[in-house]
Amino acid sequence: MEANANHLPNGEAAAAAVLDSPTNPMVTPLLTDLYQYTMAYAYWKGGKHNDRAVFDLYFRRNPFGGEYTIFAGLEECIKFIANFKMNEGEISFIRQSLSGSCEDGFFDYLRELDCSEVEAYAIPEGSVVFPKVPLMRIEGPVAVVQLLETPLLNLVNFASLVATNAARHRFVAGKSKMLLEFGLRRAQGPDGAITASKYCYIGGFDATSNVAAGRLFGIPLRGTHSHAFVSSFMSPDEIIEKSLKSADGSTICEDFVSLVQTWLNKIKAVQWSKSSNGDTNHSELTAFTSYALAFPDNFLALVDTYDVMRSGIPNFCAVALALNDLGYKAGGIRLDSGDLAYLSSEARKFFQSIEKEFCIPGFGKTNITASNDLNEETLDALNKQGHEVDSYGIGTYLVTCYSQAALGCVFKLVEINGEPRIKLSEDVSKVSIPCKKRSYRLYGKEGYPLVDIMTRENEPIPKVGERILCRHPFNESKRAFVVPQKVDDLLKCYWPGTSGKPRVELPSLNETRERCINQLEQMRPDHMRRLNPTPYKVSVSAKLYDFIHFLWLNEAPVGELQ
Ligand SMILES: Nc1ncnc2c1ncn2[C@@H]1O[C@H](COP(=O)(O)OP(=O)(O)OP(=O)(O)O)[C@@H](O)[C@H]1O
Ligand SMILES: O=P(O)(O)OC[C@H]1O[C@H](OP(=O)(O)OP(=O)(O)O)[C@H](O)[C@@H]1O
Ligand SMILES: O=C(O)c1cccnc1
Ligand SMILES: [Mg+2]
């Protein structure tokens, strides 16, 4: 991004200097909707551009039929705000794009524009969040905050959706499984892919195959090999360099290819399936041997190119046992087609019988990775059937968020110059909650979060052990008293503008991932289950409830029946 922290006035330069630009250089002040600039001009023309506005960024419904969402994308938003500055090229493009009647003074105004007077409050990234509760509250001169609307929504919507998708996959897979994100080839373009890799990691994946994401964010990289590698080999003669040093470097096996063949013969002698003539595919064996010669300490084999049980598994075992003679431990197999429950179970039995037959401790536990169009449903089906998969490689359904295209976060004005504002709608779920607010998470006796409550800015903070009335924001009859055992103040100050408030540092990616995993573990199980989960309660204080309904009546015109 061309924005330069040195252009920021006074104290803000120091604050901005420590924050890099957003990851994607396309995230500039032009990455917004045209109407933000036309409105900015109209605000400026009317002398209203510096009116102090407060906007809430929130979503209305949890995705994927669930009752929770992971908030993600905050770090990129704050980096965007910190570096918000237009260069001459951008200003001249806006000049060309707006009407010729726009006055020059507006472009001088844009030249000076930055976010030094903007304050950004947010729930920490990686938190479990719920509908209607502001994920971010942005305050500042109305024109500039308006320009931020679209990029902030863009940075939060997909990030939160895909992090939630990842968390849901983790929930079904279980804690002990290794989850690998394999979506780069199927993602919606380069940004879709990089974004998915980053936020799937936050949502609980362990690693990605996406090398660029590994470099950008330090996410662990993992991978196996493809069918092309296996089918590119024709015959054992292709292997010219056959020698392999033992793991401790003390000996050299001059003909690793023959050692593999010897092991295959031994396996055949004791294991062989009656339904086969005993021959495995030679080109596959060559491919596996070749891969082992290249990566003896991390030998992985994709075993489904020809026939998993009659060829892939015995071939893998022959190479793995040859490696074992030289002190290496094989990395494992990948299954990429067929019935993954059945094949993983059969493969496990085969490994266990090899362990027993040849006295190779631990061989029965050889890692089994599964891939092939996996999603929440297939993981759930595998669990129900029983399987022996240790790791999952998941691409298309995960990164494209196949079962829900967008989260639907919105950015709504809730106050201007100290005056609360409301957006009405025929659809009650779309009525905005007015006022500059504070939000809290209240925890119950068992340590679970019980309810989120929004209050007006100047109301007293809910206190541990003190009873507080929590009201549904729109449904009069839904209300409950809560005596919280713990209270979390949800909104933290990430960009203080000129308020003089301390700025919360952005955590590392791993800290954000840990926050996400810990918060998910703290949730009451009935909110988390896949089928008919219990909705988590989101409420407002009695004062805010009364005010919403006062403002609603005030703003809604009274109809006349004829
Ligand atoms: N035991 C299982 N229970 C439920 N779904 C499974 C199970 N095993 C695999 N699947 C899923 O079933 C689908 C099988 O895909 P598909 O019908 O395309 O066949 P395939 O195994 O890829 O075969 P081919 O290689 O011939 O295309 C995949 O989405 C996979 O994740
Ligand atoms: O299935 P996904 O969840 O998207 O995971 C990634 C897939 O990408 C690779 O093969 P690719 O799909 O390119 O080819 P294939 O389907 O013929 O194996 C890999 O073998 C997986 O199947
Ligand atoms: O490393 C793998 O096995 C891999 C990577 C991307 C897509 N499919 C598989
Ligand atoms: Mg595929």
ipTM, 2 dp: 0.96
The residue-averaged pLDDT of 303-324 equals: 98
User: How far apart are the CA of 373 and the centre of ligand 2, in A?
Assistant: 7
Q: State which H helix or E strand residue 178 sits in.
A: strand 178-181
Burial of 488 (0-12, 13-18, 19+ CB in 10 A): middle
Give yes or no for residue 141 CB within 6 A of ligand 3: no
pLDDT tens digits for 478-533?
A: 999 999 999 999 999 999 999 999 999 999 999 999 999 999 999 999 999 999 99
| Cα 270 from Cα 257, distance rounded (Å) | 21
Residue from 226, 229, 295, 391 to probe ligand 3 pocket by mutation (most atoms less than 8 Å from CB): 226
Give how far Cα 310 sits from Cα of 184, 193, 278, 330, Å. Answer: 32, 36, 8, 20
% of the chain surpassing 90 pLDDT: 93
User: Is residue 48 pLDDT above 50, yes or no?
Assistant: yes
Give the count of alpha carbons within 13 A of 349, CB side only: 9
User: How far apart are the CA of 374 and the centre of ligand 1, in A?
Assistant: 8
For the CA of 394, the nearest ligand:
2
C-alpha dihedral, 274 to 275 to 279 to 281, nearest 10°: -140
Q: Specify the DSSP class assigned to residue 140.
A: E
15 pLDDT tier (thresholds 50, 70, 90):
very low
pTM comes to 0.96
Give yes or no for residue 144 CB within 6 A of ligand 2: no
Per this entry, what is the length of the chain? 562
Q: Which residue's CA is minimally distant from atom 29 of ligand 1?
A: 373
The residue-averaged pLDDT of 212-233 equals: 98
Q: Pull the structure tokens for residue 387.
A: 């399987």
> Using N-to-C axis directions, what is the helix angle for 34-45 and 142-173, rounded to 10°?
150
* Domain boundaries along the sequence of the chain: 11-170+404-555, 225-378
Q: Which residue's CA is minimally distant from atom 8 of ligand 3?
A: 182
For the CA of 371, the nearest ligand:
2
User: How far apart are the CA of 184 and the centre of ligand 1, in A?
Assistant: 21
> For position 272, what pLDDT does the model report?
61
User: Is residue 47 pLDDT above 90, yes or no?
Assistant: yes
Phi, psi of 311 (to 5 degrees): -135, -60
Q: List CB contacts of 379: < 8 A, sequence separation 6 or more.
A: 169, 172, 173, 392
User: How far apart are the CA of 391 and the centre of ligand 2, in A?
Assistant: 15
Give yes or no for residue 209 CB within 6 A of ligand 3: yes
pLDDT tens digits for 527-555?
A: 999 999 999 999 999 999 999 999 999 99
Q: State which H helix or E strand residue 283 sits in.
A: helix 282-294
| Cα 20 from Cα 80, distance rounded (Å) | 9
- Which protein residues touch ligand 1 with a CB less than 6 Å away? 337-341, 372-374, 378, 381-382, 385
Q: How far from each other are the two terminal CA atoms of the chain, in whole angstroms?
A: 59
Q: Specify the DSSP class assigned to residue 152.
A: H
- The rounded radius of gyration (Å) of the Cα atoms in the chain is 29
User: How far apart are the CA of 184 and the centre of ligand 2, in A?
Assistant: 11
Residue from 165, 188, 231, 372 to probe ligand 2 pocket by mutation (most atoms less than 8 Å from CB): 372
How wide is the angle at C-alpha 410 spanned by C-alphas 405 and 415, nearest 5°?
A: 175
Residues forming beta bridges with residue 181, ordered by sequence position = 208, 394
> For position 271, what pLDDT does the model report?
73
Neighbours of 400 (CB within 10 A): 17
| Cα 94 from Cα 28, distance rounded (Å) | 13
Give yes or no for residue 371 CB within 6 A of ligand 2: yes
CATH number, span 225-378? 3.20.20
C-alpha dihedral, 337 to 341 to 343 to 346, nearest 10°: 170
Give yes or no for residue 182 CB within 6 A of ligand 3: yes
The sign one gets for the Cα dihedral 261, 265, 271, 272 is positive
Fold match flag (11-170+404-555 vs 225-378): no
Nearest Cα neighbor of 161 from 400, 386, 389 is: 400
Q: Which amino acid is residue 190, in one-letter code?
A: P
Burial of 542 (0-12, 13-18, 19+ CB in 10 A): middle
| Cα 127 from Cα 199, distance rounded (Å) | 12
Give yes or no for residue 224 CB within 6 A of ligand 3: yes
458 pLDDT tier (thresholds 50, 70, 90):
very high
The residue-averaged pLDDT of 204-219 equals: 98
Residue from 371, 376, 391 to probe ligand 2 pocket by mutation (most atoms less than 8 Å from CB): 371
For the CA of 231, the nearest ligand:
2
Residues forming beta bridges with residue 439, ordered by sequence position = 454
> For position 1, what pLDDT does the model report?
34
Q: Pull the structure tokens for residue 408.
A: 């639907």
Residue from 373, 380, 384 to probe ligand 1 pocket by mutation (most atoms less than 8 Å from CB): 373
Phi, psi of 316 (to 5 degrees): -60, -45
Residue from 340, 373, 389, 402 to probe ligand 2 pocket by mutation (most atoms less than 8 Å from CB): 373
Q: Which residue's CA is minimally distant from atom 22 of ligand 2?
A: 372
252-253 and 300-302 as β-strands: parallel, antiparallel, unpaired? unpaired
Q: What is the mean pLDDT of the chain?
A: 95
Give yes or no for residue 353 CB within 6 A of ligand 2: no
The residue-averaged pLDDT of 90-119 equals: 97
Q: List CB contacts of 28: < 8 A, sequence separation 6 or more.
A: 1, 2, 3, 90
CB 12 within 8 Å of CB 114: yes
Atom of ligand 3 lying closest to residue 225 CA: 3
pLDDT higher at 400 or 4: 400
The residue-averaged pLDDT of 403-432 equals: 94
119-122 and 492-495 as β-strands: parallel, antiparallel, unpaired? antiparallel
Neighbours of 303 (CB within 10 A): 27
For the CA of 372, the nearest ligand:
2
User: How far apart are the CA of 372 and the centre of ligand 4, in A?
Assistant: 5
User: How far apart are the CA of 303 and the centre of ligand 4, in A?
Assistant: 15
- The CATH label, of 3.10.50.30, 3.10.20.740, 3.20.140.10, 2.30.30.40, for the domain at 11-170+404-555 is 3.20.140.10
332-335 and 368-370 as β-strands: parallel, antiparallel, unpaired? parallel
For the CA of 197, the nearest ligand:
3
pLDDT tens digits for 256-283?
A: 999 999 999 999 998 765 456 679 999 9
Q: Is 164 helix (H, G, I), strand (E, B) or coil?
A: helix
Give yes or no for residue 394 CB within 6 A of ligand 2: yes
Min mean pLDDT across 15-24, 43-52, 205-214, 271-280 is at: 271-280
Q: In what order do the strands lie in the sheet with 479-482?
A: 479-482, 468-471, 537-540, 449-456, 437-443, 486-489
User: Is residue 387 pLDDT above 90, yes or no?
Assistant: yes
Q: List CB contacts of 284: < 8 A, sequence separation 6 or more.
A: 230, 233, 305, 306, 311, 312, 315
Residues forming beta bridges with residue 487, ordered by sequence position = 442
> For position 13, what pLDDT does the model report?
44
178-181 and 391-394 as β-strands: parallel, antiparallel, unpaired? parallel
